[in-house]
Amino acid sequence: MPVNKDSNLIFEGLNESQTKAVNTLKGPLLILAGAGSGKTRTLTHRIANLIHNGVEPWRILAVTFTNKAANEMKDRISALLKLTNANSDNMPATGTFHSICVRILRRDIEKIGRDRNFVIYDTSDQETLMKGILKDMNIDSKELKPKAALGQVGKFKSEAMNTKEVAEQATSDWMARMVKIYSTYQNKLKENNALDFDDLILECIRLFREAPDVLDRYQNTWKYLNVDEYQDTNHAQYIFISMLAGKYRNLCVIGDPDQSIYAFRGADIRNILEFNEEYPDAVSIKLERNYRSTQQILDSSDAVIAANPGRPQKKMWTHRADGNLLSIHEVRDEKDEAEETVNNVMSKLANGTSLNEQVVLYRTNAQSRHFEEACMRNALPYRIVGGVKFYARREVKDLLAYLYAMHNPQDALSLLRVINVPARKIGKTTIEKINAFCQEHEMSFWSALKNINSIDHINESTKNRISEFAALIEKYKERRLQISVSQLSTELLEEIQMEKWLRDDTTEGETRWENIGELINVMHKYDGLESEQSFVSFLEEVALVSEVDKMNDARDDALTLMTLHLCKGLEFGHVVIAGCEEGIFPHSNCMFDKEQLEEERRIMYVGMTRAKDQLTLMHANSRTVWGDMQANSASRFLDDIPEKLVERKGDIFSRMQLSSSGLSSTERRNASGEASRTSRGLSDLDFNQDINSSEEDFNQDPSHDFESGARIHHPIFGDGTIMSLSGDIAEIRFDSGNVKKIALNVVKVEVIQK
C-alpha cells in the first residue's frame, strides 16, 4: 500500500491537546471538543496516525452522522497519507450509523430470518403505512395523528425496545394502545419486506445477539472504532457501538455535551457524560482552543451555557481577541424584526460580507415567513434550508417507487403509489376490492395483482390494466439485472410515457419533468458498476441522503434562512438569531421542564458559536402567535451575557412613539415620505420560493422616471438597462449578463441615465 511514511503531515499544525489525542491510539478515549476546536481535523489525523503506525486500514471504522462528514474524512485521510489510489483496501471503513448497518444487514440479515432485498422506508412511506394502520384500527386522526404515532414508535426504537419489552411496561390504556400500534406497524414492515431507519440499527443489534459469530467477525474486522458527534447518539446506537467495541475496547468517541440538541429524536446526552464511568481507564482530553470565533463571541456563548449544571467544565479561547461586541437588537414586533434584520444583512453586504457568509437562525420553521417577505421586498436573494426536499417531490418519489417495486415487489406501499401513475383508470374502489381479497386470503398485495383474475366484482378491462401493470413490474424486475439504473429508468419512463403525463404545457409540468431529469443525473454516477450493484447502490444513496449534506453545494450568493437545529456543524461570518424571547426561545413547551430547558440553552449555545465575526440577537416586544398578539419579555439567555460584551440597539423614546402611533417601522418610513415597498407582483420576481404575498398594501405608485431603455443602478445587482415595463414590473438586463424582473415600487432602483 503506497502511503506516506513521513509523519510530518499528520502532526503539522496541531496544537498540544490535538497532538495528545492523535497520539493516543490504544484503549478507550474521550475527546471533549468545543465548538470550532478542530474536531474533524483531530479525528482524521488520529485515524491517519493509526494507519501510519501499522494498523491495517480495514481494521478501522469511523462512524459519522452525515454522508458529507464521512466523505470529507476520507478525502482528508487520503491527503494526509499521500495515497496514490484511495480505495476500500487502503482506506478505513467510514459512514453513518445507517449506511454501516445497511452494509452489515445486506450481508447477514438472512441469519435472523429476513430477506436481504429489503427496502428502506423514508418518512413519507412511514406516514402512509401508519395512516393505514390507524384507519384499520378506527383511530381518528384528530385523536392521534400518524406523525405523533410514529414519533412514539421512534422513541421506543431509539431506546432499543422491541414490542415485547414495551408491552411489559404498559401501565395505561394509552400505552396498551401504543403497543398494539407498534406491533402492527412492525408486522406491516415485515410483510412489505421493509425496514425504517431505526430498524437498521435495531436489526443489527438483534443480529449480533442472535448470531454471535457475526458479531465476532465484525469485532475482529473493526478493531479500532471512532465515533463522531457522540453526544448525539441514542441508546440503540450506544448499544451497537458498545457491542462492536466490546472485545478490543479501542473506542475513541469525540463530541461536545454542550452541543447535544437532538433529544427530541432520541439523543441521550448520558452516553458522553457517563463515558468515563463505563470505561474507568479511558483517557480524557479537552479541545478548548477555538479556530472559528472571536473571543467576544466565545465569552458570550460560554456565559450562556455555564448556567447548565452537570456539564464538563471547559473554557474556550482563541487568538482572535479584537472582535466586535455582540449586538442585542430590540424591536417592536416580528415585522420590524425581519425588516431590521434584512437591513442589517444588506449593511454587512455593502461592507464586504457576502450573503453566503450570513445566516438568519430561528427556533421554529413558522418564524421564517416574515424574513422571506422582507427578503422579497428588498430583492434580496435567499435560500431556505429545511423546505421540501428534492427526494420528497411527488414526481421523484413516483419514479423511486417504481424502482423500489422492481427491487422488492412485496413492497405494497410502492406498488400502491404507482399503480395509477401515469393514470391507468385503476381507482380507489378497485384498490379496496384488492385489499379485501388480500385480507380474506392472507395474501400479499403483489400476489393479488398477479392473481387478479381470481378477484370477483372487478370488470375485465380493469383486470387487463392491472395485469399489464404487474407484467411491467416483472419485466423491469428482470431488466434491472441486465442494465444500469439510469438506462433502466430511461426505458421505463419511455414505456409508461411519463414525459407526456408530466409535461402538461404548464410551468409546473416543465419543472416536474426537469426534476426527473435531475434524478436521472444522480443515477449516472453508478453507470460504471455492475447492473444490480448500480441499482442497489443508487437506492441506498437516495434513502440515506441528507439535505444539510448538500446545503453548501449552492453556488449563488444568497442569504440562508434556517432553524437552529439545522445549523449544527456550519459556520458563518455574520449570524442573526431571531426571536430571543421567553416563550419563543426558550420555547414555551420547554420552559417548565428542567431537562428541556437545559437543551434549549444548548441550542442557543450552538447557534451563537456558528458566528465567526459578528453575532446579532433579535427580540421583539410583541409577536403574533396563533392569531393572538403576545407581549414577550427578552429571553433569559440574553440576561446571562455580560454587559461589557454587548452593544444594545433600540431607542425607548422611539418605541413609545411607535406604540402610540400603532405604526410599524416600514409604515413610519412611508409616512415620512421615504420610498415604500409593496408586495404586489412579488410572485413575478426572480426568486425560486413559493411564498404567499403579504396582505399589506403600501399604496405608492411607481415613479414616472422609469421607462424602457433607461439606465439604472440596483443596490445589489449593479448597473443595468430596463428592457421592458409591465405596470410596476421592469425586466432589467444587468451588465453582469443576468436578466431579472424587479418590482420598481419594492426596490430602491436609481435612474442614472434616461
Catalytic residues: 39-40, 228-229, 259, 610
Contact 334, 631 (CB under 8 A): no
**Which residue bears the cell 451555557?**
305
Contacts of 631 by beta carbon, 8 Å cutoff, 6+ apart: 621, 622
Contact 25, 50 (CB under 8 A): yes
Burial of 552 (0-12, 13-18, 19+ CB in 10 A): exposed
Contacts of 44 by beta carbon, 8 Å cutoff, 6+ apart: 73, 76, 77, 80
Least Cα distance to 474 among 405, 394, 399 occurs for 405
Q: What share of the chain is helix, strand, coil (3-state, %, to 5)?
A: 50, 15, 35
248 grid coordinates = 478490543
660 grid coordinates = 402610540
Contact 356, 676 (CB under 8 A): no
Three-state SS sequence of 246-274: CCCCCEEEEECHHHCCCHHHCCCCHHHHC
Contact 560, 385 (CB under 8 A): yes
451 grid coordinates = 392473481
Q: Quick one: which H or E segment has residue 499?
A: helix 498-502
CA–CA dist 685, 67 (Å, integer): 35
Report how far apart, in Å, the C-alpha atoms of 19 and of each of 12, 229, 402 are. 9, 19, 51
CA–CA dist 542, 406 (Å, integer): 16
Q: Quick one: which H or E segment has residue 301?
A: helix 295-305
**DSSP category for residue 143:** T
Burial of 301 (0-12, 13-18, 19+ CB in 10 A): buried
Q: Backbone dihedral region of 320: left (phi > 0), alpha (psi from -120 to 50 degrees) or beta?
A: beta
Report how far apart, in Å, the C-alpha atoms of 441 and of each of 291, 403, 430, 458, 464 are. 65, 27, 17, 17, 21
Long-range contacts of 425-433 (CB under 8 A, 24+ apart): 425/462, 425/465, 426/462, 426/465, 426/466, 426/469, 430/458, 430/462, 430/466, 433/457, 433/458
Contact 261, 563 (CB under 8 A): no
27 grid coordinates = 484503549
Give the sign of the dihedral formed by CA 171, CA 175, CA 180, CA 185.
negative
**DSSP category for residue 291:** S
Considering only CA atoms, give the Rg of the chain.
Answer: 29
Contact 469, 424 (CB under 8 A): yes
